[in-house]
Amino acid sequence: MSFKTHCLAAVAALALMCGTAQAQTLRYANQGELKSLDPYTVNETTTNAHIGHPYEGLTARGKDLKIEPALAEKWEVSDDGLKWRLFLRKGVKFHGGEDFTADDVIFSAERVRAQGSNFTTRIPTSAKFVKVDDHTVDVVLTAPNPILNAQWDTWYIMSKKWAEANNAVAPTPAAATTPSYAALNANGTGPYKIESHQPGVKTVFKLNENYWKKIEGNIKEIVFTPIASDATRVAALLSGEVDVIEPVPIQDIQRVNASGNAQVLTGPELRTIFLGMDQTRDELLESSVKGKNPFKDVRVRQAFFQAIDIETIKSRVMRGLSTPSALMIAPELFPHAGFTRAKFDTEASKKLLAEAGYPNGFEIGMDCPNDRYVNDGQICQAVVGMLARAGIKVNLNAQPKGQYFAKVLKSGGYKTSFYLLGWTPGTFDSHNVLHDIIGCRDVAGSSRGESNLGNYCNKKVDELTDKILVESDTAKRDAMIKEAYKISVDEFGYIPLHQQALAWGVSKKVKLAQRADNSVLLYYATKE
């Protein structure tokens, strides 16, 4: 307020000064809202990126997504792989002034695994955190786990003292029925402090002058506003009301680039978009075929695969901004060498369908979100047209994500016959894909295959997946991963479509590094 008054009081001579100060304020608009500031409440890319400004983890991931030391300066793994020793950074302070010590790490390790946390998978339940001294912690495991710290960049460290003083020891559950201090306030060690937070309206971040490292960018203040409407968000960027927006609808990219005052940063995203088929029920929920499940026949799955003209989807629906994929994982995370997509061939599809006993095709229902992934509704519509030419009549049920997920996920009873979904492995590792998406979901009490909505299942893949988890020899591990992928590809267990593109709108005055996991991290930003 006082700053503003000064600006108002000052005349032309001082206006310049105010102008310079203004330039270090970066205004950022995202499609989604920042709901809770508690770092253990919602595990979702955009939220994690926001909270990664006031908070940070023991490790970080650089611009290339490589694991880097952060609050842990270094770590050593014992020969048997059962003990990890973490050496903590010294002299780091939380925003509230508390010193960062081993107690905070142990506290955070408990809190992140406590009831109500959405990040329990960050650390195995059986792992024990033992304090060696104020800046050394041992992690004791029951089984070797070479990817233990793969997701620690988004396991943010909280202050024990602060949490205890503010009755915030327990994580704020996603379904909190009482207000929580940690959801509205933040006290991390990160490069920015929360200046004010009005959930769903506006959040202001101020630079942490005492940050332990010099940040790359020069932004003193970040003003974050959610703008859900695509057109409004683009308009705000074009008119210069905001400096950075995410995402830019791909059809508007050209317009933004042509505007002269902003440009679009694009790049491949790690998320894989794919189609899944119900291969577990004996009769499909929504199909004209009665008494049997056509998707149990590999020829039908192949026919669906080959009916899809992925290149036209790429050029028309995605405006060139997608990477057709042969695998269920992005090439950045696992090399696609040796894998190619089965050729688009409507005639071959028809033939396969005829061989499988459906010379006239059949009718099937398809579930699709229409506000979750880039142009998801249009992709599904295109698929409907392509399958129609192979003789399959698809009844498309495209819905907002709330209703879509309620129907197709486990809690909804997997009520789908044919669906579109997207997946980014949280660990940036194939094990997650093989376990959660490709794994069989028939073992009760296991979380394997929980997001395998159509339950494609091959026990051989499961065996390999279990071996992959504990294998620390990279070459052997990769070979097994490749073998597992090959099995599922040969059986047409899924129809991977593409990796979608990132599209961030950035003012010409701003320079910003783009990370492939779609995290908008403004400590990389510089503004003239």
Partner 1 sequence: MLAFILRRLFQSLLVMLAVALIAFAMFRFVGDPVNQLVSLDTPQEQVAQIRKSLGLDEPVVVQFARYIYNAVRLEFGVSYQFRLPVISLLGERAPATLELAFMSALFSLLVGIPMGVYTALRRDSWLAKLFQTVSLVGISLPTFLIGILLIYLFSVTLGWLPSFGRGEVVKIGNWWTTGLLTASGWKALILPSITLGLFQMTLIMRLVRAEMLEVLRTDYIKFARARGLKTRAIHFGHALKNTLVPVITIAGLQLGSIIAFAIITETVFQWPGMGLLFLKAVQQVDIPIMAAYLILISFLFVSINLIVDLLYAAVDPRLRATIGAH
Partner 2 sequence: MTAQTPSSTPVAPSTKPPSLWARILDSDILASFLRSKVTMVAAVIVLLMFIGAAFSPWIAPTNPFDPATVFLSDANIPPAWQAGGDPKFIFGTDDQGRDLYSAILYGLRVSLIVGGLGVALAATIGITLGLLAGYLGGRVDSLIMRIADVQLTFPAILIALLIDGVVRGIFKGANREDTALYVLVISIGLSFWVQYARTIRGSTLVERNKDYVQAARLVGLPAPLIMLRHVLPNVIGPVLVILTINLALAVITEATLSFLGVGLPPTQPSLGTLISIGNRYLFSGDWWIVAFPGLTLAILVLAVNLLGDWLRDALNPRLR
- Beta carbons of 527 and 219 less than 8 angstroms apart: yes
Phi, psi of 483 (to 5 degrees): -60, -45
Please report the beta strands in 290-384, taking only residues with DSSP state E, as ranges in sequence order: 322-324, 363-369
Say whether residue 124 binds partner 1 (CB under 8 A): no
Largest pairwise CA distance in the chain: 83
Query: Nearer to partner 2 by C-beta: 249 or 449?
Result: 249
Centre a 10 Å sphere on the Cβ of residue 511 and count the other Cβ atoms it contains. Answer: 16
Closest CA to 448 of 472, 473, 428, 468: 468
Q: How far is the CB of 132 from partner 1 (least distance, A)?
A: 31
Q: Residue 279's binding partner, choosing from partner 1, partner 2, none, with beta-carbon cut-off 5 to 8 A by kind?
A: none
Please report the beta strands in 199-255, taking only residues with DSSP state E, as ranges in sequence order: 202-207, 221-226, 244-246
**Amino acid identity for residue 225 in this structure:** T
End-to-end CA distance of the chain: 24
Q: Residue 317's binding partner, choosing from partner 2, partner 1, none, with beta-carbon cut-off 5 to 8 A by kind?
A: partner 2
| Binds partner 1 (CB under 8 A): choice among 10, 14, 143, 201 | 201
Tokens of 467: 């071996």
Say whether residue 286 binds partner 2 (CB under 8 A): yes
Say whether residue 415 binds partner 2 (CB under 8 A): yes
Q: How far apart are CA 316 and CA 325, in angstroms?
A: 17
Tokens of 152: 């620690």
Say whether residue 469 binds partner 1 (CB under 8 A): no
Per the document, the length of the chain is: 528
In the numeric block, the tokens 């990664």 are attached to 52
Say whether residue 288 binds partner 2 (CB under 8 A): no
291: left (phi over 0), alpha (psi -120 to 50) or beta: left
In the numeric block, the tokens 């695994």 are attached to 113
Q: Tell me if residue 234 falls in helix, strand or coil.
A: helix
| Binds partner 2 (CB under 8 A): choice among 33, 221, 371, 491 | 371
Of 79-87, 353-361, 377-385, 446-454: span binding partner 1 (CB under 8 A)? 446-454
Of 106-114, 203-211, 219-227, 459-467: span binding partner 1 (CB under 8 A)? 219-227
Query: How do beta strands 128-133 and 83-88 pair?
Result: unpaired
Q: How far is the CB of 107 from partner 1 (least distance, A)?
A: 21
- Beta carbons of 205 and 194 less than 8 angstroms apart: yes
Say whether residue 176 binds partner 1 (CB under 8 A): yes
Say whether residue 451 binds partner 1 (CB under 8 A): yes
Of 104-112, 174-182, 324-332, 517-525: span binding partner 1 (CB under 8 A)? 174-182
Q: Tell me if residue 236 falls in helix, strand or coil.
A: helix
Say whether residue 384 binds partner 1 (CB under 8 A): no
Say whether residue 48 binds partner 1 (CB under 8 A): no
| Binds partner 2 (CB under 8 A): choice among 172, 370, 452, 499 | 370
Q: Residue 491's binding partner, choosing from partner 2, partner 1, none, with beta-carbon cut-off 5 to 8 A by kind?
A: none
| Binds partner 1 (CB under 8 A): choice among 238, 273, 464, 468 | 238
Say whether residue 376 binds partner 2 (CB under 8 A): no
Q: Residue 398's binding partner, choosing from partner 1, partner 2, none, with beta-carbon cut-off 5 to 8 A by kind?
A: partner 2
Residues 6+ apart with CB under 8 A from 229: none
Residue 343 belongs to what H/E stretch?
none
Q: Residue 183's binding partner, choosing from partner 1, partner 2, none, with beta-carbon cut-off 5 to 8 A by kind?
A: partner 1
Q: How far apart are CA 522 and CA 357, in angstroms?
A: 56
Say whether residue 372 binds partner 2 (CB under 8 A): no
Q: How far is the CB of 201 from partner 1 (least distance, A)?
A: 4
DSSP secondary structure string, 22-67?
HHTEEEEEESS------TTS---HHHHHHHTTT--BSEEE-TT--E
Q: How far is the CB of 39 from partner 1 (least distance, A)?
A: 13
> Mask 394-433, x = binds partner 1 (CB under 8 A)?
------x-xx-xx--xxxx----------x--x-------
Q: How far apart are CA 193 and CA 211, in angstroms?
A: 10
Say whether residue 254 binds partner 1 (CB under 8 A): no
Residue 399 belongs to what H/E stretch?
strand 393-399
Footprint of partner 2 on 201-260 (CB under 8 A)? 230-231, 234-235, 249, 251-252, 254-255
Query: Nearer to partner 2 by C-beta: 303 or 313?
Result: 313
Say whether residue 330 binds partner 1 (CB under 8 A): no
Query: Nearer to partner 2 by C-beta: 204 or 285?
Result: 285
331: left (phi over 0), alpha (psi -120 to 50) or beta: alpha
Q: Which whole-number Å values give the CA distances from 129 to 100, 154, 488, in the listed order?
A: 16, 18, 38
Binding site for partner 2 (CB under 8 A): 230-231, 234-235, 249, 251-252, 254-255, 285-286, 309, 312-313, 316-317, 365, 370-371, 377-378, 381-382, 384-386, 388-389, 394-400, 415
Binding site for partner 1 (CB under 8 A): 29, 33, 35-36, 38, 41-44, 115, 118, 120-121, 172-180, 183-184, 198-202, 225-229, 231-233, 235-236, 238-241, 371, 400, 402-403, 405-406, 409-412, 423, 426, 436, 447, 450-451
